[in-house]
Amino acid sequence: MLIYTLKRLLQAIPTLLIVITISFFLMRVAPGGPFDGERQLPPEIEANLMAAYHLDEPLPMQYLRYMGNLLQGDFGPSFKYKDFSVTELIMQGFPVSLEIGGLAILLALIVGLPLGIAAALKRNSTVDYMVMGTALTGIAVPNFVIAPIFALVFGVLLGWLPAGGWNGGALPNLVLPVVALSIQQIAYIARMMRASMIEVLGSHFIRTARAKGLNEGEVIWRHAIRPALLPVMSYLGPAIAGIITGSVVIEQIFGIPGIGRYFVQGALNRDYTLVMGTVVFYGVLIVLMNLIVDLLYSALDPQIRYDD
């Protein structure tokens, strides 16, 4: 197990190198630069800006400089947010995104799994149709529709909760963004759990369990749920990485100081160092989450073993 983990971590290094290299050059191929804005700059001032950020050097040279700094753990200064380094920005924003995203995933599991199981057990019943109908709506209605509606209804019209703001992570400020972020996840998880439950319930070992004379509750609790969780687990790996790195929509609408906006704004502003920083960070998270999921697999399914 330990050797397997180490091996996987070592394999991640070339993967990340490729991701970094491709992102670096893709970013530079995109038309427009970090200083292209409504105010067109006089040539001498533009030259000063390019020199200040080493953008006047040949591209391969810039790449080497970037990789060199990266090896020393230095993501460089943000082009846009000049008083902060990229590392500072990520380190200040990530705990916030982690909190919102983690709570959203937790909520999604607490609500989504039982719904999915219930729908599978009462297949083709009213319960099933209601759960699946709601889930489909949840998937179909995007964040940028739900979030403003939440803010308007619960924040402005009813006045029950703050319409936005972080306020140091106070509970009332967390409710709306967490719920808005979890709705889609609840829907996905419920659907996935239902499908995989139905498949497991139809398999031979469940028939065997029933033939042994176990009662239905025991069959479901001891034999069906664990294997049915496997597809949900493999979905959760990348999903968690995606959610805890923030959502630009949720952050903008509720004024949450997470890192989700850096992915989009960094790219739109051509803030090269910030984009690279978030890409590297996200890449590492994905690798780690996938590894954790694979390790959890063996805990859930005794047939899966990582010996060598």
Partner 1 sequence: MISKHHKMMSRYLLAALGGIALGAMAVPAQAFTVDIANGAEPGSLDPQKTSGVWETRITRALFERLVTYAADGSLVPGLAEHWEISDDGKQYTFHLRDAEWSDGEPITADDAVFALRRVLEPAIANQNANLYYPIVNARAINAGEKSPDTLGVEAVDAHTLRIRLTQPTAWFLQALAMTEASPLPEHVLANADDGWIKPGDTVSSGVFTLSQWQPQSRIVVTRNPHYYDADQVSVDEAVFYPIDDANAALNRFRTGEMDIAYSSVPSSRFAWARENLGDALRVGPLTAEYFYMFNLHDGQPLADRRVREALNLAVRRDVITDQILGQGQTPSFWYVPRNTANAPRGDLDFADMTMDERMARAKALMQEAGYGPDHPLRLRLNYNTLEDHKKIAVAVAAMWKPLGVEVELINSEAAVHYATIREGNFEVARYGMVATINDPFDFLNAYADSGSASRSSGYHDAEYDALVAKSTRELDPQKRRQLMTRAQQRLLDDYALLPLYDYVSVHLVSPAIQGWEINPMDVHPLRYLQESEQ
Could you list the residues that contact partner 1 (CB under 8 A)?
Answer: 30-34, 36-45, 47-49, 51-52, 80-84, 89, 92-93, 148, 151-152, 155-156, 159, 162-166, 251-258, 261, 268-270
Of 190, 158, 155, 156, the closest CA to residue 175 belongs to: 155
| Residue 183: CB minimum distance to partner 1, A | 18
Q: Which residues contact 76 (CB under 8 A, 6 or more apart)?
A: 66, 69, 85, 86, 273, 276, 277
Instruction: Return the number of the residue (74 or 294) whose C-beta is nearest partner 1.
Output: 74
Minimum Å distance from CB 33 to partner 1?
7
Least spacing, CB of residue 13 vs partner 1, in Å: 31
Task: List the beta bridge partners of residue 77.
Answer: 85
How near is the Cβ of 151 to partner 1 at its closest, in Å?
5
C-alpha pair distances (Å), 194 with each of 6, 122, 132, 140, 233: 35, 10, 9, 18, 14
Q: Specify the residue, 83 or 308, whose C-beta has the smaller distance to partner 1.
A: 83
Rg over alpha carbons for the chain, rounded to the nearest Å, is 24
CB of 236 to partner 1, least distance (A): 27
Kindly tell me which of 83 and 307 has the beta carbon lying closer to partner 1: 83
Decide: 280 and 20 in contact? Cβ < 8 Å: yes
Angle CA 87–185–242, to nearest 5 = 20
Residue closer to partner 1 (CB basis): 90 or 236: 90
- 197 membership: H or E segment, kind and range: helix 171-201
Separation between Cα atoms, residue 289 and residue 26, nearest integer Å: 25
CB of 117 to partner 1, least distance (A): 37
Q: Which is nearer to partner 1, 39 or 204 (CB)?
A: 39
Of 101 and 155, the one with the shorter C-beta distance to partner 1 is 155
Q: Which residues, other chains included, contact 96 with Cβ-Cβ below 8 Å and sequence gap of 6+?
A: 166, 169, 246, 256, 257, 258, 259
Helical (H) or strand (E) element with 220: none
CA distance 176 to 154: 8
Nearer to partner 1, 220 or 256 (CB): 256
Q: Residue 94 Cβ, how far from partner 1 at the closest point, in Å? A: 12
**181, two tokens:** 């972020």
